[in-house]
Chains A and B, each alone.
Chain A
Amino acid sequence: QVQMQESGPGLVKPSQTLSLTCTVSGGSISSGDSYWSWIRQPPGKGLEWIGYIYYSGHTYYNPSLKSRLTISVDTSKNQFSLKLTSVTAADTAVYYCAREQRGSGTLGYWGQGTLVTVSS
């Protein structure tokens, strides 16, 4: 059973960089059968797909965030990470990492989520 856990600062100042890491257990990030994804949810709002990474480093980003976004993978630690630059209050959200079975488009495993607040 795959388990996923987000970690990172809960408070980021405007214009700075938001950095989060997702640690995967119960399965190998290098298995080749998954896309490792980030999704966010502003307080009281709907879900927004951020992007995903394959273990090889291939990425696909949401065009709305692409200019500020980097997703990377560290197979030796079974982790993948998100960096979002030049954040504003609009980036305040619960950030989830999730696993998409490659080719399925659906998110079958999720982390518990972590709230990141952008505020000075």
Chain B
Amino acid sequence: EIVMTQSPATLSVSPGERATLSCRASQRIGINLAWYQQKPGQAPRLLIYGASTRATGIPARFSGSGSGTEFSLTISSLQSEDFAVYHCQQYNTRPPWTFGQGTKVEIK
């Protein structure tokens, strides 16, 4: 099973600032990586797939990068609605798909 490790566990950022979240895979996964946003009491929402392609309706301030084992999600200028937990997920070759433990982005 591929283990996904996210860092940091919590990121404190002021509104308008830039946030960068990291995700590492225990083995190479190409660009088979997705990012999800989850707000309290809600289901996750797909933000990014293919490591860098935004899902439908996702604002351009969200961007993803990376390949192989190292990935990042950047939010260029944090809006109030962006404070949430972010999960990465690998979907390389065949299941089981696995998720990171999540990074909480909180207001500084």
Contact = CB atoms under 8 A, between A and B. Distances in A.
A112 B34 contact: no
A62 B98 CA distance: 10
Tell me if A's interface is mostly helix, strand, loop or mixed: loop
Contacts of B55: 108
A112 B40 CA distance: 11
A47 B89 contact: yes
Interface of A: 45-49, 51-52, 60, 62-64, 96, 98, 104-108, 110-113
Among A45, A110, A111, A113, find the residue whose CB has the most chain B CB atoms closer than 10 A: A110
Contact of A105 (B36, B87, B97): B97
Interface residues of B, number: 24
Given A46-B87, A47-B87, A108 B46 contact: yes
Interface in B36-56: 36, 42-46, 49, 55
A5 to B, nearest CB: 11
A108 B34 CA distance: 10
Interface stretch (B13-21, B70-78, B99-107): B99-107
A106 B32 CA distance: 9
Contacts of B98: 49
Nearest to A108: B46
Contacts of B59: none
Contact of A46 (B43, B92, B99): B99
Nearest to B90: A105
